[in-house]
Amino acid sequence: MAEHESYILLRKVAKTAFDELAYGRDKNLPTVKTLQAEYATLLEEKSLRRVLENLCNHERTTDGQIQCRPYFEHGGRTET
C-alpha cells in the first residue's frame, strides 16, 4: 500500500480538479465532432484576421491599442 500511496494521492488530486470543471457528474466531455467544429471556426477566424492584417497598416497608440488604417490611406494602393 505504501508503494502506491503517491499514485493514489495523484489520482485523487486529478479527480478533484476534473470534478471542479463539472465533468463526470453533470457535464459530459465534448465530442470529437464538436471539438473539430470549434477548431475549424478558430482556424477560419485566424485566417480572416491575417487577411485583415495584410490589408491594414498597424500602429500602436500610446495606450497600447492597435490602430488599423486601410492600406490606401498610408500611401500604398490607391482606389480607382
> What is the reported pLDDT for 78?
44
Return the bridge partners of 56, or none: 70
> What is the reported pLDDT for 79?
45
> What is the reported pLDDT for 20?
80
Q: Is 19 found in the same domain as 35?
A: no
Q: Is 44 found in the same domain as 15?
A: no
> What is the reported pLDDT for 32?
94
Provide the 10 A C-beta neighbour count for residue 23.
Answer: 13
Walking along the chain (80 residues) 10 residues at a time, the average pLDDT comes out as: 86 87 70 94 90 68 67 50
Domains identified in the chain, total number: 2
| Domain containing residue 78 | 31-80
CA distance 68 to 50: 13
Q: Is 69 found in the same domain as 55?
A: yes
pTM attached to this predicted model: 0.44
